[in-house]
Structure 1
Amino acid sequence: MDNDENTYANASSFSASPREGAIYFQWWKRASRAAAVCLGLLCVLLLAGIISLSVYQRNQSTSYNNLTKARDQLQKERDQLQKERETLNKKIKGRRCPEGWREFEFSCYYITKENKTWTKSSEECQKLGADLVIINSKEEKAFINRLYQTKNDVWIGLTDSVTEGTWKWVDGTPLTTANWGKGQPNKIVHTHKQLISLKCCAQMCLHPC
């Protein structure tokens, strides 16, 4: 009887081992499957990262190429503008006043030899395409003083015909005393404004009074 019980016990012990082995095998199989899923997800994420990086690099390359083209275009436009500026400068430097006129900076000056009133002098200058001059600087005033070599006074484009005692230039700007000494102005001239290139030039004439 004891032998039968031992045999049964041994059989029970022997039959338990396969069941434990099956449980262990199933656990390992599940762990391997989970690892495979994680590895697959990592591969997908890595592939997505590579694709995103490739797209980013392509966009960066496209942006760089566009910026390079824009830079080259701006350089061409700059070079063209420099050429145009040089051409305009040559035209301005090569500009000559009409015969009998004197040039100072961007202005042409002319002194007539006839004695006339301010109004008649202004009309005469307008026939020449000019008008009585507006003196804007001490340098211009000094040039005009050197321009005529007689003791006669000359008319300038200054008048109080609109409001007596209120002196204005022929273009309507008020008189300032910055460029004049005490008792001045007491000389005269004519001005005509003409657009040459991008410079506003004054073509002028002097007329004795």
Structure 2
Amino acid sequence: MSEVTYADLKFQDSSKIKCTQNFDQVGVKAPPAPSHGWHQRDLALILLCLLLMTGLGVLGSIFHKTSKIETEKFKNLQNLKEELQRNVSLQLTYNMDSFKKIRNLSITLQEMATKLCYELCRKEPEHKCKPCPKEWIWHEDHCYKLFKKYDTWQKSNMTCSAHNASLLKIKSKSVLEFIKSQNIYNYWLGLSPRKTYTKYKNLDEIFISSDWFTRNTNELNDGMFCGYTRNTKYVFYASCTSSKDTVCEKLANPVKIESTLMNEEPDGSM
């Protein structure tokens, strides 16, 4: 019973081999061989990736070159802009300097023409260059006219208004000296009418006063007092309805430079 025969061993080995083959066939399967279609798809994907990388490289190179060119253009434009701004600034400065020189020259010429015209008018009172109307007295930048007729203060004021002028106002020492030189006596002045009577005021002090006529004087009566010149030292006051002579003033026209060089109007002949 304990003896193992060769036939038994052979039978057992055959059984083991058969079981091993069956396990291989049922339990573990070998992987299938890769198909030919998958190889082509992988190659296509690889080629596509290579093309995309190449395209990106080309686009990056183009972008870099374009960016460099545009940056250079921008720098050139910026330099051109700064140069133009400098040129404009220099031109404006030059123009301003030229304008100042022309203005100063114009002022100088105007002053010279005025002085020349004044000297010409001293010799010929109605010279063409005179900036005042005929029969008006020229002093500095004003024209003056004396009306030898007795009127109330209100009518005298209306007379001046009719000549685009106003009653005389003595508001500077220069005008005061001019009035004294003309010996203007018994003329209404452009002083504000007063409700209280004042006999007189010093002429040298009144020219800086705020009494010079600025108010409405449509209704004047015997109870109002107006100033007038009586001598070269004082301003006296009298009823505004009394009668005095009239002295008017208005701004002189600018002296024309060409008018100081010609005494007569050109006749147009060659």
TM-score (norm 2): 0.38
TM-score (norm 1): 0.46
Larger Rg: 2
